[in-house]
Each structure stands twice: as structure tokens, then as C-alpha cells.
Amino acid sequence: MTSQERAEHVVRPPLIELAGVEKSYRTGKLEYRALRGVDLSITRGEMVAVVGPSGSGKSTILNMITGIDRPTAGTVTFDGTRLDQLSEEELAVWRGANVGIVFQFFQLLPTLSALENAALPLDFLRRGSKHERFERARHNLEVVGLADKVENLPTELSGGEQQRVAIARSLAADPGLIVGDEPTGNLDTVTAAEMFRLLERLNDEGKTILFVTHDRELAARARRVVEIRDGRVVGD
Ligand code: ADP
Ligand code: MG
């Protein structure tokens, strides 16, 4: 680390900060404590893998960070904004501008082409003209290596290609943070490794990347690994 980088580390506040985060789910009379006091700080530009057994709270942590769900106790701060204090509407607008999300099962709309899927978040945000949205989506499909498949429907794409479309879609609003919940979980090892390299490249270009994985090999290659067990961070 150079002295300049060290100085930046000292003055730079975290992009994401979870402090004392607890999350309980109530099902009937039963209460389940999915998160039991999570403190986690992520700096802009980091690439972080989240690992842990099934049911340990990984997806719940991501949901706290994307504002899809709210903590029962504790605070979630993103770039100085207290997410736990925003209204649902404010959260939706915040998320649209700041976070791209990639899922295990891609979640593309089956009747839309790759290009239309990649443009969807911009349609939602009503950003730019129709032409500008498609140009932006086309650019992002080039970034993920799918320039020749823009007209294909999801059924006309392989699993890896569908996940590339999902990554292009996550880039639509040019968010600073890309979050993936097992983004390689439904891909073969070779394709999963390709997807990991794509995420690494986006990280090199300045995106903060946070992803859950079961793949020990991929996790080992991430620049930082956070281990979750029984709703707590047990390794970092
Ligand atoms: P992971 O992603 O690590 O597999 P999750 O974060 O999805 O685990 O879930 C953590 C725990 O919280 C699990 O025991 C799960 O059953 C429970 N849980 C998650 N979401 C809900 C919910 N909406 N209602 C009730 N329990 C939930
Ligand atoms: Mg999960």
C-alpha cells in the first residue's frame, strides 16, 4: 500500500456500514433470530465474498444492504444515508440509483429480448429517451460480451449468457454497488469462473462488489471473505 492509499484509507468513510444489526422473523408465535448483532464495514471499491452454511443469514444480510428488508435493531448506513430510516418509496428510488442486483436464477423477463431486459431498470427510473435507454443497454451488453445476442430471448441464451444479461441489467443505472446472491450458483464451474472474472473486471473499473457464494474456490479468490454462521460474522 502506498502512503497515499494509506491516507485515503484513513480518511475514507465506509460505503456500507452495518452496526449491531439484528433481524428477527416472526412466523405465527415463533420468532427466529436470523441476524444476531452484525457489524460489517465495506469500503468503496472492495470486492467481498460472503460465505457460510445454508440458513446462516447471508441473504438476510444482503437484503439489509439493498434495503429489500429492514433490520429489527441496529443501523444500516450507505454513503452517509441511514437506510433503516428511509420510507419504502425513498428506498426504492435509492436502490434504483445505487445498487445493481444479480440473482442465482437470473430472473430475466422471458418475453423480452436481452436488450429489453438490460434496459428495464432505466425504463423503471424513466431515465433518458427510449433511444438513449437502448443505447445504454446495448453498451452494457457489449461490456459483458454479448454484443451479438442483443435480440435473443432468454430461452435462446445459455445459463451463463442469461447471467451476463442480468449483470448488464444490474449495470443499467451505473450503480456504485453490485450485489449478487449466489450469482454463480446455477452455473457450471467453467461458466462460474468466467462470471467471477467479469465481476473482478467490474471491480477493477471501480464498482464495489458484494456476493454470496457456496463455491469455496471462488471465495478463496475474492479479495475479502466474510464468513457468517448462525446470524453472526465469525470470520473476516
Ligand atoms: P442463507 O441465505 O444464509 O441461506 P437466509 O438469510 O435466507 O440464509 O435465512 C436465514 C434464516 O432466516 C433461515 O433460518 C431462514 O429460514 C430464516 N428466514 C429468512 N427469511 C425469512 C422470512 N421471510 N420469514 C421467516 N424466516 C425467514
Ligand atoms: Mg441465501
63-88 tens-digit pLDDT: 999 999 999 999 999 999 999 999 99
Report which of residues 83 and 127 the model is more confident about.
Answer: 83
**DSSP reduced 3-state for 187:** coil
Q: Classify residue 4 by burial, with Cβ atoms within 10 Å: 0-12, 13-18, 19+.
A: exposed
Cα 184 to averaged position of ligand 2 atoms, centre (Å):
13
What's the pLDDT score for residue 214? 87
What's the pLDDT score for residue 73? 97
> What is the Cα–Cα distance from 170 to 223, expressed in whole angstroms?
21
pTM for the predicted model, two decimal places: 0.91
> What is the Cα–Cα distance from 227 to 232, expressed in whole angstroms?
8
Cα 6 to averaged position of ligand 2 atoms, centre (Å):
34
Residue nearest to atom 23 of ligand 1 (CA): 25
Give residue for cell 451463463.
160
Q: Compute the average pLDDT of residues 176-203.
A: 94
Cα 186 to averaged position of ligand 2 atoms, centre (Å):
13
Q: Which atom of ligand 1 is nearest to the CA of 57?
A: 6
Tell me: ipTM over 0.90.
yes
Q: Which atom of ligand 1 is nearest to the CA of 25?
A: 25
Is the CB–ligand 1 distance for residue 54 below 6 Å?
Answer: yes
pLDDT band at 12 (very low <50, low <70, confident <90, very high): confident
Query: Residue 56 contacts by C-beta under 8 Å, 6 or more apart in sequence?
Result: 228, 229, 230, 231
Q: Compute the average pLDDT of residues 136-158.
A: 96
pLDDT band at 39 (very low <50, low <70, confident <90, very high): very high
What's the pLDDT score for residue 5? 60
Q: Compute the average pLDDT of residues 194-203.
A: 94
What's the pLDDT score for residue 127? 84
Question: Is the separation of the CB atoms in 87 and 168 below 8 Å?
Answer: no
Q: Which atom of ligand 1 is nearest to the CA of 53?
A: 3
Cα 86 to averaged position of ligand 1 atoms, centre (Å):
23
Residue nearest to atom 21 of ligand 1 (CA): 25
> What is the Cα–Cα distance from 169 to 206, expressed in whole angstroms?
17
Q: Is the predicted pLDDT of residue 4 greater than 90, yes or no? A: no
What's the pLDDT score for residue 139? 97
Is the CB–ligand 1 distance for residue 23 below 6 Å?
Answer: no
Is the CB–ligand 1 distance for residue 36 below 6 Å?
Answer: no
> What is the Cα–Cα distance from 181 to 177, expressed in whole angstroms?
13
Cα 188 to averaged position of ligand 1 atoms, centre (Å):
25
Of 155, 109, 110, 117, the C-alpha closest to 138 is 117
Which phi and psi (to 5°) does residue 108 adopt?
-85, 155
Q: Among 9-18, 147-156, 220-229, whose mean pLDDT is lowest?
A: 9-18
pLDDT in tens, 158-181: 999 999 999 999 999 999 999 999
Q: Compute the average pLDDT of residues 89-115.
A: 94
CATH number of 3-230: 3.40.50.300
> What is the Cα–Cα distance from 169 to 163, expressed in whole angstroms?
10
Cα 63 to averaged position of ligand 2 atoms, centre (Å):
10
